[in-house]
Structure 1
Amino acid sequence: MKTRDIFIVPASAALLALAITGCSSNLDSAADETAGLQNPFGVDAEGRAFTGADKCIECHEGFTWSSKAVSEFLESKHVVHSTHVSAEEEECLTCHDPVGDGVTLEETIPAANIPEGGLAAVTCEACHGAGGEHFGVGPMPVPTPGVAICGNCHATIPDSHLPYHPEGNNILAAYQSSGHGGADELFNSAKCARCHNHEGGKLYKDVTTVEQLAGLVLPVPSASNIQCATCHDAHNPNELLKAENEDEDTGEVTASAEYNTCINCHQKDNVKLTGTQYPAAAGSTSDTGLISATGGTQLLYHAKRWGRIIATTHFDDPDTTDVIEGYVVKDASERSCRDCHDVHKGGVAINEDWAKTGHGGTVFAAKETAAAGATDRTLAQSVAVQAAGAASSWSDVDWDSADEEACQVCHTATGFSNFIKGPASYDPSLNNFSHLAGWTADDPATADVDEAVSSGQNEMLYCWGCHKNNAGGVKTSDAVILVDRDGNTFATLGTADAGESVVCVKCHGGRANGEYLKTTSAARSTSTRIHYLPAAGILYAAKTHTLFEFPSLSYTPVAYFKHDKIGLNADSPETGRGPCASCHMNDGAGHTLAAVTTEAGVITAITNQAVCDSAGCHVDPYAITAAKLEEQKTGFTAANQLLSDYLNNDVQNYIDLDIDNSTNVNDPLVTLNDYGALQNQKILASEAGAYTHNRIYAQRIIFDSIDQLDNGTFDGALDLSAYPVVAEWFQEDGDTANDNAVTRP
């Protein structure tokens, strides 16, 4: 007799003498009706027959209590998956049609959803077990499938699936390691049962006030951990615990099902922690049911536990425009939480790392400081943490304003996300910031009226700015265009040049380059005209010419310069991580972006030393150590400071004038080369890693700038006997005897 290798391991039961064809079978005449029948779908390990999903549906679509489940199931991904997985794809059927009865459902779904090779479906008996002893009255082997059943397929998936389901790998392991799956998170007391076990989560999902919580939520029988079916409809996993909200007048989604499902326990993000405090039960030290926030929105519990509510970190107060207090959630987005979180694994380590960096406005560092300054597990601590924010370049301008469209590509996550999808077609006027409080777009139908209203909230470089999924997939482009302030393209780089690190190029490539400084008719400035932090511009200087390169001098990279090739696969560079990610986002650094570790400002370790040592690059006598890198940093800093001293005439320059002065910079005595030297100093002061990113380029630029200022001519030699640290950085010979005649690197 044929058997099916499916995943169910049912409880022991007496075997029927003959197979039953379906729920409609008559017990008294079963032997007559089934005599001589074969089992087309085989039997399970206990000998029970698989009857086929069509038989299940024949009965269950007619019952009021199960008809909705049937219709949901027939619309689900378990049935209508795709047209490229069919009943003929035998290597796929272990997960995509384990019973082999998908074809029996073909008459119940639209023909357009049936693959050419026949329908493959995850059917009723794949999860509930063989129904041969059921037919309406007998037991099902698995009446309520749990995590283990889902995990049979939603575990490690083949590499071939990853391009289609990048967030679908190792879901079972992620869940098992999460707080949702952890037994230590299972509580079944009054109030707690609403969110800390599966049964309570389903039963009390519509409890929305502290009064209801106190009066309705009681322990449930046989509590189990939060599981797949807590958040997903078991018959249609795309349907979540809570439905979306729509505007009654416009039909526009105001809160997605994902958002509503997650905040059902993690609570709303925009609750200001002020209002009426609710006392805990007599004698209790818990913090459940503590606060009714202003505006009618309530926190049901955990108001004293700032790390357990998202309002302390996912809320940017629109009334404090000069600081950012947190991330702004896109409530209406179908990916409102998944954009930044692996919702099956939970955990916030990456998010906290990000929020301590410049990309995250260093906001979380402010949160930790506020938490440390207050008594643990108090409402005062939560209030202090929510109010804690940081001022940064993300908040110093109202970037979502229509007046700042030119800057939105790098100063908002929305702008950059839209740009990287298609650099050539990017239109900043289409940037939509409707998730920011109070923001309103200008209506193109009334061009004569300015209706745009900006928000008091500001974005930072959110996860979804650079990442296309929470599995780490990066948004890339084959043609990232760098344009100057006049709109002229000065460089184009793609994945072939930088791999995945091309995502960094636009915003770290500069707003212009040295050639722009030579041609612009704009007034001179004592601040950088190239813009700040142009690390990619320095790294790819052979293409970008970021700094002011003096005429007649060569800036061609030396033959051994390979930093721009780090992390690229030789035959297919577009698949490599590229230099930025390889050095700044390795396993040791992650989203801290730290290429080195420091103590009191001194480099003590290189985070990804293996990158430096690989492929025979930095081996003796050119090995790179933390001490060597610190020497390079010290020399670079001293050299750029010497250049600054020449510019402000602390070390007398050849025209005896403070060039680094808003008035003097436009003096006729200051030549274009002098102005170029000033801009070089400003740019390199902003790009403090230039000594690593492109050392020889930085050395030549600083040397040439000083050479210009000391006597107005390029003679290729400097007397640096008074500056031994600078001389050593240029020469790297360990000898001071020739510091009076240092030659160009």
Structure 2
Amino acid sequence: MLLRNIVFIIFIPLLLAACGGSTADTSGSVSKLAQSQKCMDASCHGGSVSPGTGELIVKEWLASSHNTANAAGCADCHEPHPGHPSSCSKCHGGGSGVALQNPDASGKCGKCHGLAFPNDLMVRLAPQHFGNMTTSFSDSKYRASYVSSNYVGNCRKCHNPHNPTAAINVNRDWADSGHGNVTKARTNYDFKTRGTYEPAATTFQYYCVRCHTSTGYINFVTSGFKVQKPFAGPGYQVVQNYPQKVAPGAAQPADAPSPDKSKEVTGCDVCHDNGKGRAYSWVARTVAPAVIYYNFSSVNSSPTLKLNNKATTYPDVTASNICVPCHSGRGIGSMIYDAVAAGMDFSNTNTPGAHDRAAATLVFRTGGYEFTGRNYVPDYYLHRYIGVANEHGTGNSGPCVTCHMNNNATHTFLPVEEDSAGIISTITSKTCAHCHIGEHELSPAFLQSEKDGYAAALAMLNVLKTDPSLPASTLNPSRSKVRPLANKNSDYNAAFPGGGANTMGAFFNSSLLQNDPGAFAHNRIYTKRLIYDSIDWLNNGILDNDVESAINNATLAVNSGTGKVSLSNPIMGGYYIAAQLPGTAYADAFAKVKADAIKYLLGGPGGARP
């Protein structure tokens, strides 16, 4: 891929003034190294130290591609005035020798890099850096960019200017990760407009900004998890979008467009800050233990039910505190019990949702809907303590960082490698072997079998969410046990009258887990119990441990809109059973899904709740 060939050449200013002359020699007769020699003299800046890295600036520049590729010397960036430095003024003062201390902030990176230079290496090989949407463009479905409005003149937020290639492998890994991806979810909305000025503890407005933008995240964590305001780049008017009151069944209006036509990724300065606003030191940002408010307001129901002002505080996991605020979701299962206490009408309501990648809620067992009378505390579970107080020699960076970044490609944030089909081929995290040794040693094959079983169990949960005997309906073509209503609410009491809370909980668990493809590893037994109990309830509205028979006797509901059946793989993608007319052609495929689910949840036929 093109990103694998990119050399990130961006530079940052500091006190390395160009002492050898007023401008760079562009004739090619004198090298950048020769032009910069006087700057590097001990009497000038030979001893200057980078405030970002603590290294000698001269040493960094000598190792950089700006030097080795004869690309940019001191004067090219710092643009000293004529006569800088005057040998007389060094002792007697006066003189006019001035050099830019911060060329980046002065826009000097743009002398060589950007859309104005089609042959620029970054434009040709990494166009993700730049966006070129015009202010008249109203469609919000455009990609994000690395150099969004708040990062123009802030290249040093990601790059050490004096040796911009020092972290090139990290840059490449990050660019390939979900954090650096400029498409997919990044394009769904202009997330910088989806914030709120209301208190985090009580708001029901959008607060997407806090996790879908770098600026929003930094505002959130540096304010004690209170500020979730919208923003725009310098010189642009801030636009706020928030849910509008609409007629029952009506759709929300389209978001108002921002004049700032750039979108942010999860940049380097989200996770790295040395306490002085410099990210290129690669010091981890200090973040307090996350305090998250899971707020919910029902819509199109009377009276409106509101849940807010109830904090969930996560444990202190040091460097992994950086990860928790955005991997703790937007809803947790206990909210359903709060809704019961507040008098929710489960026959006419919408529902709290966990959102995506809420792994922290599984690691720390805050996320799932736990059915009354069931035990969800595993007898032996240490994943939440990985990287805490050097548990099993795993250090002190918390579970997220210790598991996902203890490998040779830290900024892919993946503890395993997968082949093109999504099959786990290698365990890359070096952390697993601290505990999984001897008879408990992990292998890629074992992890893949767990992943396959997890996917199959969730697929069968999805099957049990339907009732093939329900009549055809334009509102409910999938024949869901939760009956959709014309006002866009749902009747959670439809299948099991009076059991709406448990039905909502089972559907909540399904959504929570399907949006965390690593849940089978994050908290293995907790995940299995959530799926087991959800299937148990949805089978007949009773918790009677009939999960094996529920799976074996399940049939696929015919979609009343298409007349076909199908079964998707909620974790690996694609289909176990592609859409087709009901019959026997898919019997073997369906039987295998059932067998895999039973093995995963019960250990095999005749097994018990995990």
* TM-score bin, normalised by smaller chain: 0.5 to 0.7
> Is the aligned partner of 1:477 residue 2:477?
no
TM-score (norm 2): 0.66
> Is the aligned partner of 1:688 residue 2:517?
yes
Contact 2:468 / 2:479 at 8 angstroms: preserved in 1?
A: no
Please give the secondary structure, in 2, of the residue aligned with 1:392: helix
Contact 2:195 / 2:209 at 8 angstroms: preserved in 1?
A: no
Contact 2:357 / 2:515 at 8 angstroms: preserved in 1?
A: yes
Counterpart residue number, 2:473? none
C-alpha distance in structure 1 between counterparts of 2:188 and 2:76, whole Å: 42
Match of 1:539 among 335, 359, 363: 363
**Taking every aligned residue pair, what percent have the same amino acid on both sides?**
23
C-alpha distance in structure 2 between counterparts of 1:456 and 1:77, whole Å: 34
TM-score (norm 1): 0.55
Distance 1:174 1:394, change over 3 A: farther
C-alpha distance in structure 1 between counterparts of 2:81 and 2:111, whole Å: 9
Match of 2:547 among 718, 728, 734: 718
* Structure 1 residue 343 displacement after superposition: 1.4
> Is the aligned partner of 1:504 residue 2:297?
no
> RCO higher in 1 or 2 (8 Å CA, sep ≥ 6)?
2
Aligned runs of 1:578-657 on 2, under 5 Å?
A: 578-599=398-419, 600-608=421-429, 610-614=430-434, 617-649=435-467
Please give the secondary structure, in 1, of the residue aligned with 2:176: coil
C-alpha distance in structure 1 between counterparts of 2:45 and 2:432, whole Å: 41
Please give the secondary structure, in 2, of the residue aligned with 1:707: helix
Contact 2:536 / 2:544 at 8 angstroms: preserved in 1?
A: yes
* Structure 1 residue 719 displacement after superposition: 2.4
**CA deviation vs aligned residue, 1:85-116 (integer Å, no higher than 9, x gap):** xxxxxxxxxxxxxxxxxxxxxxxxxxxxxxxx
How large is the Cα RMSD of the aligned pairs? 4.1
Distance 1:412 1:630, change over 3 A: same
Contact 2:329 / 2:355 at 8 angstroms: preserved in 1?
A: yes
**CA deviation vs aligned residue, 1:340-388 (integer Å, no higher than 9, x gap):** 112122124433332332222x23xxxxxxxxxxxxxxxxxxxxxxxxx
Please give the secondary structure, in 2, of the residue aligned with 1:604: strand
* Structure 1 residue 258 displacement after superposition: 2.2
Counterpart residue number, 2:576? none
Counterpart residue number, 1:419? 220
Contact 1:412 / 1:459 at 8 angstroms: preserved in 2?
A: yes
* Structure 1 residue 168 displacement after superposition: 1.8
How many residue pairs are counted as aligned between the two chains? 463
C-alpha distance in structure 1 between counterparts of 2:288 and 2:76, whole Å: 50
The letter of the residue matching 1:181 is N
Which structure is larger by alpha-carbon Rg, 1 or 2?
Answer: 1
The letter of the residue matching 2:513 is L
Counterpart residue number, 1:428? 228
C-alpha distance in structure 1 between counterparts of 2:462 and 2:111, whole Å: 56
C-alpha distance in structure 2 between counterparts of 1:308 and 1:701, whole Å: 48
Match of 2:265 among 460, 471, 482: 460
* Structure 1 residue 598 displacement after superposition: 0.8
Contact 2:48 / 2:57 at 8 angstroms: preserved in 1?
A: yes
Counterpart residue number, 2:599? 728
Counterpart residue number, 1:146? 40
Counterpart residue number, 1:440? 238
Aligned runs of 1:285-434 on 2, under 5 Å?
A: 299=116, 303=119, 305-307=121-123, 313-315=129-131, 317-318=133-134, 319=137, 321-330=140-149, 336-347=154-165, 348-360=168-180, 362-363=181-182, 390-401=183-194, 406-424=207-225, 426-429=226-229, 431-434=230-233
* Structure 1 residue 197 displacement after superposition: 4.7
C-alpha distance in structure 1 between counterparts of 2:76 and 2:349, whole Å: 64
Contact 1:316 / 1:328 at 8 angstroms: preserved in 2?
A: no
Distance 1:651 1:413, change over 3 A: farther
Distance 1:331 1:265, change over 3 A: farther
C-alpha distance in structure 2 between counterparts of 1:143 and 1:328, whole Å: 32
Distance 1:171 1:501, change over 3 A: farther
C-alpha distance in structure 1 between counterparts of 2:72 and 2:417, whole Å: 40
**CA deviation vs aligned residue, 1:201-253 (integer Å, no higher than 9, x gap):** 677999xxxxxxxxxxxxxxxxxxxxxx9xxxx999xx99547xxxxxxxxxx
C-alpha distance in structure 2 between counterparts of 1:658 and 1:591, whole Å: 40
* Structure 1 residue 331 displacement after superposition: 6.3
Counterpart residue number, 1:178? 64
Counterpart residue number, 1:552? 373
* Structure 1 residue 407 displacement after superposition: 2.4
> Is the aligned partner of 1:529 residue 2:328?
no
* Structure 1 residue 461 displacement after superposition: 1.8
Contact 1:644 / 1:681 at 8 angstroms: preserved in 2?
A: yes
**CA deviation vs aligned residue, 1:320-348 (integer Å, no higher than 9, x gap):** 52021522345688x71211112122124
C-alpha distance in structure 2 between counterparts of 1:525 and 1:240, whole Å: 67
Counterpart residue number, 2:5? none
Distance 1:264 1:744, change over 3 A: closer
Distance 1:742 1:398, change over 3 A: same
Distance 1:613 1:171, change over 3 A: farther
Contact 1:526 / 1:678 at 8 angstroms: preserved in 2?
A: no
The letter of the residue matching 1:410 is C
Distance 1:454 1:475, change over 3 A: farther
* Structure 1 residue 538 displacement after superposition: 0.8
Distance 1:467 1:719, change over 3 A: same
Distance 1:395 1:715, change over 3 A: closer
C-alpha distance in structure 2 between counterparts of 1:201 and 1:413, whole Å: 27
Provide structure 2 residue ranges, at least 5 long, that are not aligned to the other structure.
1-13, 20-35, 197-204, 241-255, 274-278, 296-306, 471-477, 553-590
> Is the aligned partner of 1:743 residue 2:608?
yes
